Structure 1
Amino acid sequence: MGFMKTYLDTSSRADRELSEEELALAHALQINGRASFREIADALGVSDQTAARRWSRLQSAGKLRVLGLTDPQRVGDSPWIVRVRCTPDAAASIGEVLARRPDTSWVNLSSGGTEISCSVRTRGPGTEESLLLQKLPRTPQVVDVSAHCLLHVFFGQDLSTINKSGPLTAEQVERLTPSVQPQQATADTPPVMLDESDRRLLDLLARDGRAAPAELAAATGLSLSTVRRRITELRAAGVLYFDVEYHPGVLHRKFRAALWLEIDPSRLAEAGAAIAAHPEVSFAAAVTGTATLYASIDVATAQLFYRYLTESVAALPGLRHTATVPIHRTLKGPGPYLPTRT
């Protein structure tokens, strides 16, 4: 949150927008967050120094950061989307508390400031391990809490809307795509077991996905070769992926909303694949509950959202019911909470 708040407080709307050159760099980092400046420069047709300078400027301005994140299901954790309905005077303060928790991400204020939605990770398959979900119902300002287990991601994690609309050509994308692709896990694939050194390494990458191997080695006590090997192995196993956290003023449009869609079970996979291809969708997943398909929508105006609902959403296979929840403010993105910089 501090990453985003500082940028909001110290920049104008024009300052937040990315130039074409900056968009190209952001697109490159979304494809491969740990690509070297030489690899990025070769793909973009610029010098190493130019690529490094643009990244340094974007990072120091708070426009974006690269995060090394883990797929919860590959390490035996359970991801949940939690909806918290509050009294109007309490949502902002409760949301701030949730944003500071290490087990939350994507904390949003919705529905006119009376609802908070967030992603929560629990150890093991159920919610009984989450202290958050045990405490929330006992908070007087909380009216209702519902938790929806995330079953399958159709679009998200290492993919962002810039993968759909970014300026790079297919040839540039191919040149930047990592040679080692993650293994495709199935329902029967056992989770990857992590030791303490792995967890220390992953905690550091979650804060700075582009941290130098020497810096990671010094902080973890691992050798340089071990750091490089484990990053490669964890990426190949599908445990570790790299995402770019953008300030909301950079890529988010003026109208954002969450969709909760009830889909016929026999058409869920088909509907999920279809909505994942929509340019308006920044995240889509199958979830538990009456609404079995969840999606985050990002468009320029309410009128375009209406068109999207009546045309693209209405055409989804197996659609039974639609509920829309406008998102007013993001308190925390995909990465760890960072204290506000002064």
Structure 2
Amino acid sequence: MKTDGSAARPAPFDDLDRRLIHALQTDGRAPFSRIAEVLGVSDQTVARRYARHRGSGGLRVLGLAEPRALGEVEWLVRVQCAPDAAVSVAEALARRPDTSWVSLMSGGTEIAAVCRSGSSEHSDALLLQKLPRTPRVVGVAAHCLLHEFYGGPQSMISKSGALTAEETARLSPPVPRPLTEPVVLSDADRRLFEALGRDGRAPLADLAAATDSSPTTVRRRLEALRADGVLYYDVDYDLRLFGYGVMVALWLSVAPAELAATGAALATHPEVAFAGATTGPHNLFASVLCRDTGALYSYLTTRVAALPGVRTMESAPRIRHIKGPGPYFAVGPAVPRSRR
């Protein structure tokens, strides 16, 4: 333990850890026996690794709802506030159930967050009434997410090559069936997602207790939600243990005729954890993860510089992570994985 009162940093993830995380990203509720078979190790080894990292805050599996399958609208929000109020405003935003990916950006006066709304009417109430009334907010800019080039069930670990294509295929669930209209969640479904947001691998008995139903009913509902593309699993992990030291929000202004091609190209970059087309003067947004500032400079001046149609670029380093995709925990992992 460090003498300055901060927790000692765990050892970096090794090859087996990375393979385990890739397996969990592919199917967060896959039995340990199935994961062990794919990884070529024992069930006990997989269970021990998972328990150790989850206990230390190095990783956790989350069961999340896909906003588009529910007909929800996502907004990338940039909140400007007084310097002495940034942390408190960010924490207030993080406590709201309709926010995720809340971060304090460089300068200490800007907060970046993702907000979800069920309709344009709800968007109006969220953006025009609720956010500006947060104490000490001096400005709000909101950009509607129009198209996702990379994100959701896909993550940085999906690009890592920790698992081979054949190993990933052995763990991958069936492709979700196409939806003709948004799925409407019941009260039991919402309680189920609340429980999965805390622990995506929670036992069926615990999920049944949370939803006042039987384990068999829960199992069937999980299968149906996954088949409809409403439910997906994500792994929240400590970025530092993967060797990432810098996370940057990247805003690009791209010629409209080049937007689709540029977004698709950006999505293939190993440094990009999330990429999406948005409204606003900067119509392409990405979350970028790099080893250090030198690697970031190299990335911006090579890969980004070579993208077609880019007119202007704005980058904003993240200095503090407040909330990820799951529920807000006032005390938790120091630097969990972030994609936005």
- 5+ unaligned residues in a row in structure 1: which ranges? 1-8
Match of 2:143, SS state, is: strand
- The answer to whether structure 1 residue 243 and structure 2 residue 234 are counterparts is yes
Task: Go from structure 1 to structure 2 and tell me whether the alpha carbon gap of 1:122 and 1:309 turns closer, same or farther (over 3 Å shift).
Answer: same
d(CA) in 2 for partners of 1:275 and 1:310? 14
Match of 2:247, SS state, is: strand
Match of 1:112, SS state, is: coil
CA contact (8 A) 1:111 1:325 kept: yes
**Paired amino acid for 1:20:** D
Partner of 2:177: 183
Partner of 1:11: 7
Match of 2:321, SS state, is: strand
Partner of 2:218: 227
Match of 2:270, SS state, is: coil
Task: Go from structure 1 to structure 2 and tell me whether the alpha carbon gap of 1:56 and 1:39 turns closer, same or farther (over 3 Å shift).
Answer: same
- How far the C-alpha of 1:248 sits from its partner, in A, is 3.6
CA contact (8 A) 2:89 2:135 kept: no
Superposition pairs of residues 73-222 of structure 1, within 5 angstroms: 73-126=68-121, 127-130=123-126, 134-139=129-134, 141-178=136-173, 180-184=174-178, 189-222=180-213
CA contact (8 A) 1:280 1:297 kept: yes
- The answer to whether structure 1 residue 316 and structure 2 residue 307 are counterparts is yes
Superposition pairs of residues 38-53 of structure 1, within 5 angstroms: 38-53=33-48
**Paired amino acid for 2:309:** G
**Paired amino acid for 1:183:** R
d(CA) in 1 for partners of 2:46 and 2:118? 39
Task: Go from structure 1 to structure 2 and tell me whether the alpha carbon gap of 1:229 and 1:302 turns closer, same or farther (over 3 Å shift).
Answer: same
- How far the C-alpha of 1:10 sits from its partner, in A, is 5.7
Match of 2:84, SS state, is: coil
**Paired amino acid for 1:245:** D
TM-score normalised by the chain length of structure 1? 0.90
- Per-residue CA deviations over 1:167-222 (Å, capped at 9, x if unaligned) read 222221121112x222345xxx3111111121121221111111122221122122
Question: After TM superposition, which residue ranges in structure 1, 4 or more long, deviate above 6 angstroms?
Answer: none
d(CA) in 2 for partners of 1:147 and 1:183? 32
d(CA) in 2 for partners of 1:65 and 1:114? 30
- Per-residue CA deviations over 1:276-331 (Å, capped at 9, x if unaligned) read 10001011111111111100011112222122112111221221211111111111
Task: Go from structure 1 to structure 2 and tell me whether the alpha carbon gap of 1:196 and 1:279 turns closer, same or farther (over 3 Å shift).
Answer: same
Report the more deviating stretch, 113-122 or 219-228. 219-228
Task: Go from structure 1 to structure 2 and tell me whether the alpha carbon gap of 1:307 and 1:250 turns closer, same or farther (over 3 Å shift).
Answer: same
Partner of 1:253: 244
CA contact (8 A) 1:23 1:166 kept: no
**Paired amino acid for 1:201:** L
CA contact (8 A) 1:87 1:114 kept: yes
Match of 1:137, SS state, is: coil
- How far the C-alpha of 1:102 sits from its partner, in A, is 1.4
d(CA) in 1 for partners of 2:282 and 2:268? 20
Partner of 1:3: none
**Paired amino acid for 2:220:** R
- How far the C-alpha of 1:157 sits from its partner, in A, is 1.3
Task: Go from structure 1 to structure 2 and tell me whether the alpha carbon gap of 1:97 and 1:136 turns closer, same or farther (over 3 Å shift).
Answer: same
d(CA) in 2 for partners of 1:265 and 1:228? 45
d(CA) in 1 for partners of 2:181 and 2:130? 31
Match of 1:192, SS state, is: coil
Task: Go from structure 1 to structure 2 and tell me whether the alpha carbon gap of 1:255 and 1:339 turns closer, same or farther (over 3 Å shift).
Answer: closer
Partner of 1:296: 287
- How far the C-alpha of 1:133 sits from its partner, in A, is 5.0
CA contact (8 A) 1:252 1:298 kept: no
d(CA) in 1 for partners of 2:88 and 2:212? 39
